[in-house]
Amino acid sequence: MKYCIGIDIGGTKTECTVFSTTLDHTDLTPVHSKRFLTIKDSSYGVYLDQLHLELRPMLEKYPAMAVGVGVPGSLDYLRERMIAGGTKILINQPLRLDLATLLKLPVTLENDANCFALAEAYLGVGKKHAIEKNREPREFSSLGLILGTGLGGGLLLQGQLWRGSFNAAAEIGHSFLEQSLRDCYCKQNGCAELFLSGTGFEDQYEQINGARISAVKILKQAEAGDDIAQQAITQYRNRLAHFLANLNNILDLDYYVFGGGLSLAKPLLSGIEELVYPKLFSPASRPLFYGHSLGDSAGVYGAALCALQKTS
């Protein structure tokens, strides 16, 4: 049996999963998983020790051939470290090299949105999409969108991750959507993330109503017939449709996959193609829009896939 480990480092928790895999890596089966808190005010050294402590017994039981790590931020692939992102303890730290040295195994580092896009393309909705079309997952181009605290993206062109000429591709959350009341943390005004992330959705509701409630509550109130909550949903859907149409006019992809907390909210996303298609320049372009199928675990699947693709 061949084993591989995927690690998904999030802002609040870290998930480590051991997978058994087929020879061609078309299937990954989770055999053991462990989650622990990523303590934000910890130091890099303490975090690295903690990670090593969790991984050591796993590797004794399941001798993995490689380890893939997904991190929530932009990477400098040449220097093999995270250079921007919310989890400050990882910034500019040689995590890949340190883990490889400690574990004596090949380790890969990848952006978490890229891990999500890759996992869904090869093991999730993209796999089903390819079967339906009687083709291979690697023949399709897709974008994974994470609608969570922020708005992240991972782009695959004909099955290959497209990181960009300067490794800064698919930073979709920081492209301009419309003038915003406040600036984004990236110092620009009008970033899509300010409207389409979970926080952005709550902001928009607050602007109409004057009071702030959680995204879950907005959705519940809308279901109960609340006019303002329904207005916030309509506004969100219209903005998302404009955003997706802009993306597709540039990229012309086969499909899009939604991940992150808001992707579970059907009223925000179901039937979105009916709003997107009339905005597309070419009537020939008919991308599909899918909800994720690997759930919260897409990150660990994607991280493991990255490691397998690099080592095989």
Rounded Cα distance between 247 and 44, Å, is 37
CB 187 → Zn ion: shortest distance, Å? 7
> Interface mask (CB under 5 A) for Zn ion, residues 182-201, using x and -?
--x-x-x--x----------
CB 240 → Zn ion: shortest distance, Å? 17
> Tokens 């303590």 identify what position?
39
Residue number, 90 or 191, with CB nearest to Zn ion? 191
Closest Cα to residue 41, out of 11, 2, 4? 11
CB 173 → Zn ion: shortest distance, Å? 6
Count of residues making up the chain: 312
Instruction: Determine if 174 is a binding residue for Zn ion (CB under 5 A).
Output: yes
Judged by CB under 5 A, the number of residues near Zn ion is 5
Instruction: Determine if 84 is a binding residue for Zn ion (CB under 5 A).
Output: no
Instruction: Determine if 288 is a binding residue for Zn ion (CB under 5 A).
Output: no
Q: Within 64-83, which residues bind Zn ion (CB under 5 A)?
A: none
Token pair listed for 260: 């992150």
CB 197 → Zn ion: shortest distance, Å? 10
Token pair listed for 266: 């059907």
Residue number, 127 or 174, with CB nearest to Zn ion? 174
CB 194 → Zn ion: shortest distance, Å? 7
Instruction: Determine if 203 is a binding residue for Zn ion (CB under 5 A).
Output: no
Residue number, 110 or 171, with CB nearest to Zn ion? 171
Any alpha helices (H) in the chain, and if so which ranges? Answer: 44-61, 95-103, 112-123, 125-133, 193-196, 198-209, 215-223, 227-251, 266-269, 272-276, 298-311
Instruction: Determine if 53 is a binding residue for Zn ion (CB under 5 A).
Output: no
- CB of 170 closer than 8 Å to CB of 193: no
**Torsion sign (Cα): 44, 113, 78, 310:** positive
Provide the binding-site residues for Zn ion, judged by CB under 5 A: 174, 184, 186, 188, 191
